[in-house]
Structure 1
Amino acid sequence: MATGTENWAERFIRDMRRWSWPNLLRDLQATDLLVIDADLLKVIVKEFGALACKTTGASDAANTIDSDVNRVFVFLGKGEWQLVKQLRAGFPDMAVYSLTYDLAPRSILESPKLTGEPRPGMPVDRPPVLLLSTPYSDAEYLAEILRRNGFADPREYLDRSLATLLERHDRFQVIRYFAEAERWGRRAGVFDLHLQADVLSMVFAKSRADWGTLAEWIKAAGAQVIYFSRRDKIAQTGVGAVLGGSVFRSVFETNAEQRKALTPDIHSFADTHHQLQSTLLQEAELEEFLTEEVEDFRSVTLEELVEQPVAVMRGITMFLGRQMPRSFQMPDYRQPYLDMPEVLQEAANFRRQLIDRLGLHVNAAGSFVSQTDAMLKR
């Protein structure tokens, strides 16, 4: 969750860890050259220490390349791809990489975190599945169920780490990025995709893409769209308040070891109330898009999935046109939360605080109407 009290550098470092970029930077050698903005380099060095590679700014990149340089990595807020093209043309025998367009699209490719189990075999001769959601709705739980049953493997190829990076990026070339992500994604089979509304908003703000672009891709790819939401927006916001400072957007992205190490990171009421309002607006945008631009989609809520899992999965199976299994592989929704009692308690506490501050508390008679509220309704 982006907040006013948490500056961009802190969020960038956090999300670099999600992409495992700290290891990438530490592995750079003295024969490597990193072309990077000075202020960004300062943030990285402050967090991880001096880098072993050579570093320079965009204006001196060509002059810094000599016989001692074997590889060049470019990471800039402005003009990154243009410089990569120039360096490749000027140094045709040199390996030149764009961190944003060459490396970031493959950075999320790792085994599903919930169980660490290998994915079941999935048919490749089928349309891609697109999962749309708002953050902290636990759409990752449905993604895990789809994986376990061999239906689909929706991944966030455009994730929060990308959204954070784009905050200081100029003229993001989303088509180039998406094509590279799809190229890597198809190596594992069908390019299934999970898109969250806040990431889409940032991508649209920083590129020429819009909702129409997404609609065109859905139609061209023949994508089967599943819209996932959570009815209890206050609970959703409470989870976001606790997980917002971590690299995770859901407990279903974590394994047992990560859950043990995860500690609550509570944001202020003002910041989280803003997140609640953002979630409502983003959900409204998603629903308007689906209603106006997508001919056929399946809508699922977390509450339905948890309370009536078999009925919901039967509906999804029919929507996707798959063979109905004898039984569904359903991970326990409660267990990851029970593994983190402190996190669960803090989320519950924050939910109660949010309800109280919004005037939605229940009085002694079991009503959501208080005496002061009743006065206003006379």
Structure 2
Amino acid sequence: MLTAPVASFEGYLAWLNSVIDEVELEKIRVVDESTAAALGYAVTKPGAVVLVFDFGGGTLDLSLVQLPEDRSHTGGFLNRLMGSAKAKQHTAKVIAKAGRIIGGSDVDQWLLADILKRQGMTPKDLGTDYTKVLTLCEQAKIELSTQEKTVIKFEAAGKSHEVTITRAELEVLLEQNGFFTALRRVIDKVMHVARQRGIFKEDIHYVLLVGGTSLMPAVQRTLGQYFTDMAVRANKPFTAVAEGALQVAAGYGLEDYLIHSYGLRHLNAETGKHDYDEIIPMGSGYPTETPVEVVMGAAHPNQTEIEFVIGEIDTDSVAMVEVKYEDGQAVFVAQAANSEQQIIPLNEADAIKALAKLDPPAQPGEDRLRAEFSVDDRRQLRVTVIDLLTNKKLLD
């Protein structure tokens, strides 16, 4: 069982799968870290709706999850010891989730830059002591979660330096670097999706804190402004993800969805540039129960090949996103120009392997290829391309 940040792209997931080279791929499953944490916290209220706030060193992830209705199958590390047959009788459901690449390591860098500015120094002045001073900044950040001020002492270029920093000064630094803006944006996105699904702040039973950055007083104060009546829990900030992942590995059901969409690249005849047509929308459940089928034909006479370059599309980078629900699934529709989307090609570097060779050549007006797209439980896209004329499998 592997865990990954909510907003991670497939390239990271592929690397994560590849490092586990001693395990058969069929036995690997990937679950979002914040979603796993929802199961790992000892919440025993049947059907409880919990918001996991996972703020660690590098990422901020939120997952709004409805826990199983059966009280005996909810929460806690020891529950994973139950027989898998019983475990499969219940399912936790992901209602909404969002992620952003920001975390405690960013705060450390901001703090270091501020200290150097105060001392009239640059990173080059630290030389080989750069990492040591950065570690001191991390320690100071941690200390400021429990005390009002701390002192950072270090040496550089043969000179001793001592800087006092207060919690209030750190919080000003966070505001200047857009920390709270990023925090509020992720919360707003999750709650927007939740409202579309009929879940409001009043319906959330617990806010569960995960990761060291979630323990910062300023972070908890910001959460308090959103969820004043919620029961905030912070008793498993460093173990909830692992405990929840073990429960999923034991067979506990989990309904989850994609936070990015997938698109197939094509040449826009009007602009002469590449565009991407969405094939699997953001919000689709995974693993895919039924593959998405696309039938294709030739664009010009005697066409001998058709490329299948796939892009992973992050609509969170778009200024405005409209959320619609079709057949119970969330569908996110970008309301800005495509140029504002973040599109990560999955196989562009291996484009030669993404070519479906047509023999005999295809002619316009005839259905020649059937492409099947699905996402497995490792959150990886699977593509199969079949030649309808020869019935041969061209890509798999």
Q: TM-score, normalised by structure 1?
A: 0.22
Q: Give the helix-richer structure, 1 or 2.
A: 1
Q: Give the strand-richer structure, 1 or 2.
A: 2
Q: Highest Rg: 1 or 2?
A: 2
Q: TM-score, normalised by structure 2?
A: 0.21
